[in-house]
């Protein structure tokens, strides 16, 4: 079963994981160390996305594994004579299972450099994964989660919003246009169409901005 796992050496006992966890009693801090109750924890990863010490991971899908996967995905992209934006889609697994269809990606114009990786919930996305994607050559990132009322983990999706806003500010501070990072919560009822629309939008935006300035 998928649950959160704490690295007690890293945990500083800040309690953010307790504040943000959508499930009461799934995680608690005792003697300055976080402790996960595996019978309550649903493995949504919201605590992983918020932990400032990188002390949490979802079992079987650690941030280290995601990092490695994203870097490999970016290596499979190509530099074409006419700019084809390298776009990474960070998508909620439930959205891709219940609505958005990743196999539709190839039908979108200029999508040959689009790659996707799944998360249990967009709430599990640590901003460092987004920054790492840009450092490793992404021209844009689309974070796609389920609509506001459709989250399988109560409100894990909306808890991501402020984190993305902050990530955009950080990108701006280092000279990367914040528009390169898009965040969409897509209702499941219209997911197939809206997901593709969101992808078209980010491809168009990034195409107009040109290559990621970090690369220059």
Q: Give me the residues that bind ligand SF4 (CB under 6 A), please.
A: 4, 6, 11-17, 21, 23, 26-27, 29, 34, 36, 41-47, 51, 53, 55-56
Task: Output the smallest distance, CB 134 to ligand SF4, in A.
Answer: 24
Task: Output the smallest distance, CB 40 to ligand SF4, in A.
Answer: 7
The residue ranges of DSSP E strands in the chain, in sequence order, are 4-6, 27-30, 33-36, 56-58, 87-92, 114-119, 140-146, 181-186
**CB-CB contact of 163 with 175 (8 Å):** no
Based on CB atoms, which residue is closest to ligand SF4, 45 or 145? 45
Location of structure tokens 């490999």: 72
Task: Output the smallest distance, CB 206 to ligand SF4, in A.
Answer: 32
Task: Output the smallest distance, CB 19 to ligand SF4, in A.
Answer: 9
Based on CB atoms, which residue is closest to ligand SF4, 38 or 201? 38
Based on CB atoms, which residue is closest to ligand SF4, 35 or 117? 35
Based on CB atoms, which residue is closest to ligand SF4, 5 or 214? 5
**CB-CB contact of 43 with 152 (8 Å):** no
Provide CB contacts within 8 A for 192, sequence distance 6+.
99, 100, 101, 104
Q: Which helix (H) or strand (E) holds 99?
A: none
């Amino acid at each position: 079963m998928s649950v959160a796992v704490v690295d007690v050496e890293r945990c500083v006992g800040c309690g953010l994981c307790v504040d943000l966890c959508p499930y009461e009693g799934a995680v608690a801090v005792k003697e300055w160390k976080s402790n996960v109750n595996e019978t309550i924890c649903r493995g949504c990863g919201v605590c992983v996305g918020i932990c400032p010490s990188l002390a949490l991971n979802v079992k079987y899908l650690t941030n280290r594994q995601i990092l490695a996967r994203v870097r490999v995905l970016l290596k499979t992209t190509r530099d074409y004579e006419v700019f084809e934006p390298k776009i990474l889609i960070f998508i909620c697994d439930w959205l891709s299972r219940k609505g958005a269809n990743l196999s539709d990606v190839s039908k979108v114009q200029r999508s040959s450099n689009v790659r996707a990786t799944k998360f249990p919930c967009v709430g599990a996305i640590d901003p460092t994964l987004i920054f790492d994607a840009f450092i490793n050559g992404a021209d844009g990132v689309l974070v796609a989660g389920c609509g506001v009322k459709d989250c399988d983990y109560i409100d894990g999706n909306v808890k991501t919003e402020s984190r993305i806003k902050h990530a955009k500010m950080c990108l701006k501070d280092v000279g990367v246009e914040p528009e390169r990072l898009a965040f969409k919560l897509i209702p499941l009822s219209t997911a197939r169409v809206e997901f593709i629309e969101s992808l078209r939008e980010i491809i168009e935006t990034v195409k107009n901005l040109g290559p990621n300035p970090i690369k220059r």
